[in-house]
Structure 1
């Protein structure tokens, strides 16, 4: 099954990958707001700071962004969501790099602030708002691809 999964993910277009991320990350944000531990919240904040610091290359930024989103998914305490999320790493990484190169910008202040608000909502235990903001973020990314 894992080999088949890898083939499916490699063949998927970036829009399909983003749609799957919406399915996983929106629910993960809601669950993380309910289940996160203080240590996981600290890990999210460290990943957020690292995401801000790593903007010199597209590749560096995409990798730091991926770590941030994984920290949120981990805090959902659902190993199936984490495994599904991890399955997208190779395809999503390359697709995101290509998309950001085409778009011509990445890691701006508004984008960083949006990610900080997700952490704040998770910290506040507001799963509904964290999920909504995660969905809005990913839907905007999907719309960029048109």
Structure 2
């Protein structure tokens, strides 16, 4: 079975879902070596980095394992724990509480590990967020989460990256619902700019405490809004 190109939104999650379906559907039995990144990228119509993150997510789910110098092999046809389903079914406030625990410490770690490439990616993500005044709510939420993903990527910890990738679809839907329900962009089309700027600057400056503080304040504010909306 040859997979068609994916749509441009949420590419990592879509790639993860497509590869998971191919494994559970029996295309790649246990013990099978998966095609290389280039081949999978061509089949899915995405970049190699997207394929790499999707494979990391599948590894985190216990379905594939990379063997040094040998490639990536299927080790299970079902996730060891159906984490994605649990996330989809969880209350967004519960998801957000876990996100805070994970992402605040990730920001602290990112400040100590960021590279020049990370700095460039963070600045670009912040610029995109600042320039998103004319974006739809869905586009703005995706741009906002992309900035947070850039912070997590700067940790250079593949498990953290995979965990955040799993959270992303639930976060996107919860934040989109919140923006629409409360009209958060009616007065300011790019809300939270000061907090996100402080976060990015702290990570770039290597100030771990300031990075954790800036992100913690921003996430606590959003969580308070989510709790109020859920009442």
TM-score by length of 2: 0.60
Q: Which has the higher contact order (CA 8 A, sep 6+)?
A: 1
* Compared CA separation, residues 109 and 100, structure 1 to 2 (3 A): closer
Q: 1:128 aligns with which of 203, 209, 213?
A: 209
- Higher CA-based Rg: 2
1:64 aligns with 2:148: no
Contact 2:129 2:190 in 1 (8 A): no
- SS of residue in 2 equivalent to 1:31: helix
Aligned counterpart, 1:52: 130
* Compared CA separation, residues 93 and 110, structure 1 to 2 (3 A): closer
Indicate the structure with greater helix content.
Answer: 1
TM-score by length of 1: 0.93
Counterpart Cα distance in 2 of 1:41 and 1:103? 33
RMSD: 1.5
Counterpart Cα distance in 2 of 1:89 and 1:10? 10
Question: 1:16: how far off?
Answer: 1.0
Q: 2:119 aligns with which of 38, 41, 44?
A: 41
Give the count of matched residue pairs: 146
> Runs of at least 4 residues of structure 1 off by over 6 A?
none
Counterpart Cα distance in 2 of 1:121 and 1:65? 17
1:104 aligns with 2:183: yes
